[in-house]
Amino acid sequence: MGRSFQRHFAFSHSPMTHRPLSLSLLILVASCITLAQSGRKIAAQQPEQRFTVCFLNNGDRITGHAISVSAEHVAIVTEYADTVILRSSSIARCETSDEGLRAQLIAAKILSPPNGKEAVKAPPKAMPTPQQAANRPNNSPRFGWKRSLAFNYTLARGNANISDLNFSGNFTRTERDNRLIFSGFLRRGVKNGADFANLFTSTIRYERNLDLNSMPLRQLSFFTETGYEHDEMRRLNHRIVWNGGLLVPIVKTEAEELGLDLGGGITHEEYMTGLKRTLGEGVFRLTSEQKVLGNARFRQQLSAFPDFAELGRYRFQVDLSLRAPLSRILSLRIGALNRFDNRPQEQNVKRNDFSLMSGLAVEF
């Protein structure tokens, strides 16, 4: 059995305490400025990567970073796959803003020279063969399964006996035109033998690329999802949700992603008090992710579920997550979850719940 430790901080208004406090504030401000400048230097030192787009004879389009060009093949590292090797005979045309790569494509007779001039010679810098490029390791997302598990636990014994467990998991399978996602979150907290948190949520989501002919709408996707929720603190026995709609990508680059879900669905709720209701709700979900301070990823998701039957009634959820990699598979995770429901609540049930979590995450 451990002991609980408490620290007591006392502040007075004497001049002796103001001076150390002012010095601490100056040190804190200087540290923040130094950290911000370091982040800018890291971002400035990262080499600029230019995308290459190759259009195939069958109508497909491959986008990524070209790492090898020859008269027979072109090797491209794509965003969602490993290195892809394309036969020159299957390529209709390629587009790139990299002048050196453009010269290589013209020399390989994959790209026509401008104004009908003779093909220019490739720069002397040697590039690996397609076979060597295929064997080179890369950190690009792959087709297939990607798994992520995050865990943190708090234990206290003494004046208060507390046990608080948070566990989340995400399993994603990505293919060329579709994606399947399984996600779940569990929180269980006990204080002096009584529950103060008992929450479980899970979601199954499927996305399908519509592959429309219009280029601006080519990446538009259809999504459908089914969710389950149990929350004893809100006296919610279970909530079953089905939603469907369109996923509209607004920004999608290597350093930043921004997408919008628009749709609606049906929600069925049963409370421990005996209340049951089935209602229609809209879905407005904005998801954004950026690369910050080197390789750390900051993800934000804002979700609103308005009630179709009663205007002005809605559920709202904010999910924030910051992941800083410690190794190839291990990362430090800091997350915040805020849930708000402005509909009439049961007695002694608050409309807003906020949770702040930190722990380790494993990706494989």
User: In sequence order, which residues have a C-beta less than 8 Å from that of residue 18 and are 6 or more positions away?
Assistant: none
**Residues 124 and 168 placed together within one structural domain of the fold:** no
Over residues 155-193, the pLDDT tens digits come to: 888 888 889 898 999 999 988 788 999 999 999 999 888
Q: How confident is the model at residue 345, as a pLDDT?
A: 74
**Residues 166 and 235 placed together within one structural domain of the fold:** yes
352 within a domain of the structure (yes/no) = yes
**Residues 165 and 68 placed together within one structural domain of the fold:** no
Average of pLDDT values for 233-262? 90
User: Are the C-beta atoms of 163 and 155 separated by less than 8 Å?
Assistant: yes
Integer Cα distance of 217 and 197 in angstroms: 44
- Give the end of a domain, one of 94, 115, 135: 135
DSSP secondary structure letters along 15-28: HHHHHHHHHHHHHH
Overall domain count for the chain? 2
15 within a domain of the structure (yes/no) = no
**Residues 198 and 108 placed together within one structural domain of the fold:** no
User: Strand 178-191 vs strand 162-174: parallel, antiparallel, or unpaired?
Assistant: antiparallel
Q: How confident is the model at residue 37, as a pLDDT?
A: 55
Q: Is pLDDT of 250 > 60?
A: yes
Q: Which of 135-149, 179-193, 216-230 is modeled with the greatest confidence?
A: 179-193
Question: What DSSP designation does 39 have?
Answer: H
Q: What is the mean pLDDT of the chain?
A: 77
Sheet holding 73-78, edge to edge: 83-87, 73-78, 61-69, 52-56, 91-96
Total residue count of the chain as it appears in this document = 364
Question: How many helices (H) and strands (E) would you count in the chain?
Answer: 3, 17
CATH assignment at residue 61: 2.30.30
- Give the end of a domain, one of 112, 135, 158: 135
Q: Which amino acid would we find at residue 313? A: R
Q: Is pLDDT of 126 > 60?
A: no
Which domain covers residue 339, as residue numbers? 146-363
Hey, which residues does 226 pair with through a beta bridge? 204, 242
**Residues 282 and 181 placed together within one structural domain of the fold:** yes
**What phi and psi, each to the nearest 5 degrees, are found at residue 89?**
-70, -20
Looking at per-residue pLDDT, the higher value among 41 and 297 belongs to 297
Average of pLDDT values for 111-126? 51
Nearest to 208 by CA among 218, 221, 219: 221
Nearest to 322 by CA among 349, 354, 346, 288: 288
The residue written with tokens 């103001």 in the block is 18
**Residues 68 and 110 placed together within one structural domain of the fold:** yes
Which tokens sit at 246?
A: 């369109």
26 within a domain of the structure (yes/no) = no
Lowest mean per-residue pLDDT among 18-32, 217-231, 297-311: 18-32
Average of pLDDT values for 79-89? 71
Q: How confident is the model at residue 310, as a pLDDT?
A: 86
**Residues 158 and 282 placed together within one structural domain of the fold:** yes
Q: How confident is the model at residue 31, as a pLDDT?
A: 55
User: Are the C-beta atoms of 175 and 143 separated by less than 8 Å?
Assistant: yes
User: In sequence order, which residues have a C-beta less than 8 Å from that of residue 29 and are 6 or more positions away?
Assistant: none
Lowest mean per-residue pLDDT among 5-9, 16-20, 257-261: 5-9
User: Strand 91-96 vs strand 83-87: parallel, antiparallel, or unpaired?
Assistant: unpaired
Q: What is the pTM of this model?
A: 0.60
SS3 annotation, 41-79? HHHHHCCCCCCEEEEECCCCEEEEEEEEECCCEEEEEEC
Farthest CA pair distance, the chain: 84
232 within a domain of the structure (yes/no) = yes
141 within a domain of the structure (yes/no) = no
- Give the end of a domain, one of 108, 135, 162: 135
- Residue 68 banded pLDDT, cuts 50, 70, 90: confident
- Residue 4 banded pLDDT, cuts 50, 70, 90: very low
Q: Is pLDDT of 153 > 60?
A: yes
- State percent of the chain over pLDDT 90: 31
**What phi and psi, each to the nearest 5 degrees, are found at residue 74?**
-130, 125
**Residues 127 and 154 placed together within one structural domain of the fold:** no
Q: Is pLDDT of 118 > 50?
A: no
- Residue 30 banded pLDDT, cuts 50, 70, 90: low
Nearest to 208 by CA among 183, 184, 244: 244
Burial class (CB in 10 A: 0-12, 13-18, 19+), 65: buried
Average of pLDDT values for 141-147? 74
Hey, which residues does 77 pair with through a beta bridge? 65, 83
- Give the torsion sign (CA, 69, 74, 77, 82): negative
CATH assignment at residue 168: 2.40.160.40
Which tokens sit at 331?
A: 């990362």
Average of pLDDT values for 83-89? 78
The residue written with tokens 């050196």 in the block is 100
240 within a domain of the structure (yes/no) = yes
